[in-house]
């Protein structure tokens, strides 16, 4: 996207002059800019998808009653071929970028705050389709990973079939998961940290419905993929306090996210390609083996 278009969108809709604009490295499905005026900063998101931010605006407005640190919607609409969204700016950086700087006490406090936020969100009223089942959600994830892996051939497709067999072992648990709302896309990204504390949650484009343990599982795989420690995961699980069967489901979800990460390798989103090389392939295969060992330990309990 041209910077001139981004500046035009912002100035026309806020009546403020742009002093500086920079594109963020984050955002594989959107063009995301930090826009500075003489006194404030803002976030501008742009997409060529029709009504790209309809759901984002809906959820940010709905969640505003929960008293959680999320952006405020300032303006949204259409400009040429783009949908745009202008949001308030929240100080901080993705937790994945500052994780190595955090001490154990800070990780523990962030985990506590995150689970408190998830519990607040779980109480909001959301209607679901009568056909909704958690099994359909799980199947969708596995089928998507299967399609992507089979298309690119970087990883062994048999890993998908192994997980589908494991799914049968916890079918009774999966059948009982209800459509409880939670933020399912806060892992090493979208969770902002400033001076060692959680400062905000961004990129809320949809709401997860189902098992809160999935966001913990995705975060664990992301941390392992970045070769970082997983103490934050331990603190999240301490706050959630899963039962034996819930922990087994968590181990299952970790495996799902591992093959999901595998499926993304080599894919292109807008002008960005998810990197893939021998080192990345080996690391994800090693992570899968580690997670399988953890699943097997769960089965011994």
SS (H, E, C) 187-218: CCCCEEEECCEEEEECCCCCCEECCCHHHHHH
- What backbone phi and psi angles, to 5 degrees, belong to 181? -70, 145
DSSP 8-state symbol, 277: -
Residue 267 — pLDDT band, cuts 50, 70, 90?
A: confident
pLDDT at 30 over 60: yes
- What backbone phi and psi angles, to 5 degrees, belong to 27? 90, 90
pLDDT reported for residue 27 = 56
DSSP 8-state symbol, 29: S
| CA distances from residue 289 to 158, 167, 254, 293, 296 in whole angstroms, order as listed | 13, 17, 11, 6, 11
pLDDT at 1 over 80: no
DSSP 8-state symbol, 19: S
Mean pLDDT of the chain: 94
CB 254 within 8 A of CB 217: yes
The residues near 88 (Cβ < 8 Å, ≥ 6 apart) are 42, 43, 71, 72, 74
Q: In what order do the strands lie in the sheet with 82-88?
A: 20-23, 31-36, 41-47, 82-88, 73-79
pLDDT at 83 over 90: yes
pLDDT, one tens digit per residue, over 127-183 is 888 889 999 999 999 999 999 999 989 999 999 999 999 999 999 999 999 999 999
The span from the first CA to the last CA of the chain, in angstroms, equals 53
| CA distances from residue 172 to 135, 161, 205, 297 in whole angstroms, order as listed | 10, 19, 31, 19
Least confident of 12-21, 104-113, 151-160, 263-272: 263-272
User: What pTM, to 2 d.p., does this model score?
Assistant: 0.92
pLDDT reported for residue 126 = 87
The residues near 300 (Cβ < 8 Å, ≥ 6 apart) are none
pLDDT at 216 over 80: yes
């Amino acid at each position: 996207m041209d910077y001139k278009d981004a500046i035009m969108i912002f100035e026309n809709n806020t009546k403020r002059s742009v002093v500086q604009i920079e594109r963020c490295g984050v955002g594989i499905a959107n063009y995301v800019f930090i826009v500075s005026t003489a006194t404030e900063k803002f976030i501008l998101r742009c997409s060529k998808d029709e009504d790209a931010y309809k759901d984002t605006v809906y959820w940010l407005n709905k969640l505003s009653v929960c008293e959680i640190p999320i952006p405020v919607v300032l303006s949204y609409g259409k400009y040429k071929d783009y949908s745009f969204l202008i949001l308030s700016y929240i100080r901080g950086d993705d937790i994945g970028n500052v994780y190595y700087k955090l001490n154990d006490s800070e990780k523990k406090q962030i985990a506590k705050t995150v689970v408190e936020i998830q519990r607040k969100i779980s109480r909001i009223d959301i209607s679901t389709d009568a056909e909704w089942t958690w099994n359909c959600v799980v199947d969708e994830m596995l089928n998507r990973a299967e399609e992507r892996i089979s298309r690119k051939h970087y990883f062994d497709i048999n890993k998908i079939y192994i997980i589908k067999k494991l799914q049968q072992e916890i079918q009774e648990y999966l059948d009982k998961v209800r459509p409880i709302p939670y933020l399912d896309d806060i892992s090493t990204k979208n969770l902002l940290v400033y001076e060692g504390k959680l400062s905000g949650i961004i990129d809320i484009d949809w709401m997860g419905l189902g098992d809160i343990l999935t966001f913990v599982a995705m975060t664990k795989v992301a941390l392992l993929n970045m070769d970082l420690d997983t103490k934050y995961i331990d603190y999240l699980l301490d706050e959630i306090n899963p039962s034996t069967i819930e922990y087994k489901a968590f181990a299952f979800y970790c495996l799902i996210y591992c093959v999901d990460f595998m499926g993304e390798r080599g894919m292109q989103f807008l002008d960005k390609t998810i990197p893939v090389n021998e080192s990345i392939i080996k690391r994800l295969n090693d992570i899968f083996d580690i997670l399988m060992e953890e699943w097997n330990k769960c089965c011994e309990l």
